[in-house]
Amino acid sequence: MKILVGVKRVVDYNVRIQVNPDGSGVATNGVKMSMNPFDEIAVEEALRLKEAGKAEEVIAVTIGPKASQEQLRTALAMGADRAIHVETDEEIQPLTGARILKALTDKESPKIVMLGKQAIDDDNNQTAQMLAALSNWPQATFASKVEVEGDVANVTREVDAGLETLAVDLPAVISADLRLNEPRYVKLPDIMKAKRKPIETVTLADLAVEQAAAVKVLKTSAPAQREAGIKVESVDELVAALKEKGLI
């Protein structure tokens, strides 16, 4: 069984985001980039399924510019067997991403496509669902536990009322939530070995995929600065301040 895992290059979650002065988007020049945290969890889960004997091969996939191969190398260092880079300098929105992944699933025939539930740069949370619809596959989103038995995956997911467990027939699309696992620490020898693992590079034209109609971002702006708070010396002063603002 193959598992295809999506990996996205995003601004590192520790970086303080800055907006371009002209409102054209988020500043990325000279900014540290890394693998989307939810995708890292997806890679880890795929590797655990392989180590448990449930899969024979884990294939990491990314879509983006040449620099995105850094994130593929990270996935390979974690333990992925090989990687596919769909190289493009254009902005890829969820529907186009889903179409690309659909083309790759047709080519590779995986039993599971494992994705992060969302990317921290756009927070769309759409690609997994769109891929399942395009492929006519079952989907299990926001997974906090995954167990595979034969051709069925039992996926536990968090819902408003608690936990829900779904049994989905394979092949299926699964998206990883934060509580699914804690990704492994990548060691230097693994990083060196990853440099020798193959990365296949293809283009949208190679996959016969056309860009979906783009959702145009008109302007990006930073949130308004919060007003400074005040310190109070006693409960009575706190109550008085709250009454003055009409909060009680």
**Beta-carbon contacts of residue 235 (< 8 Å; ≥ 6 apart):** none
Is position 148 within any domain? yes
Is position 110 within any domain? yes
- Domain housing 148: 2-217
Per-residue model confidence (pLDDT) at position 182 = 94
| CATH code for the domain in which residue 14 is found | 3.40.50.620
Give, for all 248 residues of the chain, the pLDDT tens digit.
999 999 999 998 888 888 888 877 888 888 898 999 999 999 999 999 999 999 999 999 999 999 999 999 999 999 999 999 999 988 888 999 999 999 999 999 999 999 999 999 888 899 999 999 999 999 999 999 999 999 999 999 988 888 999 999 999 999 999 999 999 999 899 999 898 888 999 999 999 988 877 788 888 888 888 888 888 889 999 999 888 888 88
| Model pTM score | 0.85
Is position 242 within any domain? no
Alpha-carbon Rg for the chain, nearest whole angstrom, is 21
**Beta-carbon contacts of residue 46 (< 8 Å; ≥ 6 apart):** 3, 5, 55, 58, 80, 112, 114
* Separation between Cα atoms, residue 19 and residue 31, nearest integer Å: 12
Is position 248 within any domain? no
Per-residue model confidence (pLDDT) at position 153 = 95
Total domains in the chain come to 1
